A and B are shown apart, each in its own frame.
Chain A
Amino acid sequence: MSLGLGSLLLLETACDPKPDDIGPVSPTVGSLDSIPYNPVAYDYPEINGLPAMEEPSDNRATEAGVKLGRYLFYERKLSIDSSISCASCHHQDRAFTDGNPVGIGVGGAVGTRNSMSLINVGYNWKQNSQHNFNWDGKFASLEEQVLSPVEHPLEMMSNWEDVMQRLKGHEHYPRMFRQAFGIEHIDEMSKELAAKALAQFLRTLNSADSEYDRDEWVPFEYMSEAAQRGKLLFLGDALGSASTKDAECAHCHSFTRDAAIFARNSFSNNAIDSVSSFIEFSDNGLGDVTGSVVDNGRFREVSLRNVGLTAPYMHDGRFATLEEVLDHYTDHTSGSRGPNVANELSTAPELPHLTAQEKQDIITFLHALTDTSYVNKAEWADPFLQADPWAE
């Protein structure tokens, strides 16, 4: 839609020609149509192991849209007292998580959920699903999700009306909104367009350059033997080899060679709470979103790419280390942990019997999913640390 709308606006301009002079924005008048609107489609790099990125038809990424999204992502004016930005909880060098058990908002407000990684976040979108984002699947689209932190009472604590007032009065954002979306007037700057820009930026945060990826795609580069053994355990049933134990991880953290996301992104109860009925979970997760009690205690089967960088773990950050995670899976996933414990876990015949060495091998494999190629990547970094952030 944005591109469509953009070109429609462009067409109108064309039928009703305006003077060609490109003057500065006049904040008093608020007209932006003297600023060139020259949308260039963003070209997603092809990455081995990742499918083509899907975008909603009404929000095709453009260079200017992605750039605006990046600025907004690092913009502290999105929080009530201009103290934090999205990046305060989503650090580039931690795969866009923050190292805390739960998110810390304005004034040190303690949230309830663990900040999620944003690497490859665009792949979490399934077109016909209503439950794609957040631990509990509250949001269908990235465009919806990114609106929420600004008004969240434990996150940025602001409201979009105020935020848009600030952005409209800013020296540079009106121009950037014009360049991204072709709007003709400052009054057309809206939270919906801000959300589209943020979503465009997030859909560019794609990377798959870990030891696992190089083992898969680069000739003669291999993971360590421990990681190879861990992969077989993780995948299970591998290649019909009867001797390999099966840790059953890949049911839920699924991957294929060409779609190596390591997430099913459906919802299940992986038994981290021990309950005897559907109404005892400390956080109902998906159940509060769908209103169906059998969904209580179900959370999203998230990607395990970069887990080496994203401790602590689970929706509430309860496990500090991958060792604790593995101990949980081997020791506490029987069906007696609750009425809807995922059957992939409760029926797993060998999972409870993994040896210490086998658990360590799985952890080594999880570390082989760590990709550090982007931690200093300039295009994703804080633009306000650049010498001249507003240079065009």
Chain B
Amino acid sequence: MRYLSAFLILALVGWAASCKKDPVDPPVEETKNLTLNFKAQFDGQALPMFTDVSAPNGENFQLQVFNFFLSYIEVQKENGDWVLVDSSAYVNFNSLVDLADAEAGVDLSYSLAETGNFTAIRFGLGVSPDLNAMDPADFSSAVALGDAGNYWTAWDSYIFTRTEGKIDSLPTAAGGDVNFLYHSGVDGMYQQKNFSKQFNLEQATSLNFTIDIKEVFYKVGQEIPIADNNVSHSGDPSTAEYAIVKTVITNMGQALELQ
């Protein structure tokens, strides 16, 4: 009987509500007016994953895993105000195995209510300290920050960037491939980037970024000694492990260009 009356109450509530006719519109796809496109290149050419390219020192180089976080993407209006586009984004090249896909790159698309003229864009490469203080459990699975696989519990930090792959036998080495893995994390590695650029969001606009991997691993004077030290996931700032990935993420920040 109690069951029945609960049902009646629900039905009554339903009845009262139902007589205000609710139009059921199909959800409208918001049109995206700002696209940030990222392309991985090697010496100016698109770089697909799992594809050998020839490095300046003569060895073959192959990238297999490449992804990174961006934090606080903001664009600057003519009056100097900064407008937040996204507090966190994840750029993942792992599935770009074919040349055509690598040439197309990765898109982050946004619909920004603010329109008009803009003069700059800025973001951090990596996970900003405030976000890095959070735990994947604090986020929805719809975002990369919600993925425990992007978190490195040993360091209480998100993995800011992943670069993995292999080089082939060096002329001087005993032979065989050397696989490498560099994961950057921990707060001291965050890289702030700022790019001047005139653009207008009255119509859809794409800002095209490239990151030249040759400049990440073979930058003159800041080379990554893959054959000697092929693995690091950050670590304590006093260690060589830390220094090597700090160089990787610093080089990445410097190699990132807005066309």
List A residues at the B interface (Cβ < 8 Å).
Answer: 7, 10-15, 17, 20, 22, 36-38, 51-52, 54, 125-128, 235-240, 242, 250, 252, 254-259, 261, 263-266, 290, 292, 294, 301, 335-336, 339-341, 343-344, 346-349
Contacts and interface: CB of A to CB of B under 8 A. Distances in A.
B154 A239 contact: yes
Contact of B18 (A12, A127, A242, A349): A12
A340 B63 CA distance: 11
Interface string B10-42: 111011111100000000000000000000000
Contact of B149 (A14, A20, A258, A264): A264
A37 B7 contact: yes
Nearest to A253: B149
A254 B179 CA distance: 22
Which of B6, B146, B148, B166: most chain A CB closer than 10 A? B148
B19 A335 contact: no
Contacts of B8: 20
A256 B151 contact: yes
Nearest to B6: A38
Nearest to A265: B149
B56 to A, nearest CB: 23
Contacts of A237: 152, 154-155, 233, 235
Contacts of B169: none
Contact of A336 (B6, B142, B176, B230): B176
B254 to A, nearest CB: 24
B164 interface: yes
A36 B4 contact: yes
B177 interface: yes
Interface string B53-65: 0000000000011
Given A127-B142, A235-B154, A259-B137, A292 B97 contact: yes
* 5 interchain residue pairs of minimum CB distance: A14-B15, A264-B149, A11-B18, A258-B137, A127-B142
Interface residues of B, number: 50
B153 A255 contact: yes
B187 interface: no
Interface of B: 3-4, 6-8, 10-12, 14-19, 49-50, 64-65, 95, 97, 135-138, 140-142, 146-149, 151-155, 164-166, 176-177, 179-181, 230-231, 233, 235-236, 239
Given A128-B142, A240-B235, A15 B19 contact: yes
A51 B3 contact: no
Given A258-B135, A261-B148, A294-B50, A343 B154 contact: no
B140 A266 contact: no
Given A38-B3, A237-B235, A254 B148 contact: yes
16 contacts: A11-B15, A14-B12, A14-B15, A36-B4, A38-B3, A52-B137, A54-B141, A126-B147, A127-B140, A237-B233, A256-B151, A257-B153, A258-B136, A259-B135, A294-B49, A340-B50
Nearest to A266: B149
Nearest to A278: B50
Nearest to B176: A336
A235 B151 CA distance: 12
B10 A256 contact: no
A148 B235 CA distance: 44
A258 B139 CA distance: 11
A221 B139 CA distance: 29
A9 B6 CA distance: 17
Given A250-B152, A252-B149, A256-B151, 10 more contacts: A7-B14, A22-B4, A126-B141, A128-B141, A239-B154, A257-B135, A259-B137, A290-B95, A294-B50, A347-B181
A264 B147 CA distance: 8
B23 to A, nearest CB: 13
A254 B141 contact: no
B14 to A, nearest CB: 4
B137 to A, nearest CB: 4
B121 to A, nearest CB: 24
B141 A250 contact: no
B13 to A, nearest CB: 8
Contacts of B153: 235, 250, 254-257
B95 A292 contact: yes
Nearest to A132: B141
A64 B179 CA distance: 53
Contact of A38 (B7, B18, B138, B179): B7
A127 B143 CA distance: 8
B163 to A, nearest CB: 10
Contacts of B136: 51, 256, 258-259
A233 to B, nearest CB: 11
A126 B145 CA distance: 12
A348 B149 contact: no
A254 B149 contact: yes
A257 to B, nearest CB: 7
B48 to A, nearest CB: 10
Given A22-B4, A237-B154, A240-B235, A14 B18 contact: yes
Contacts of A128: 141-142
Nearest to B135: A258
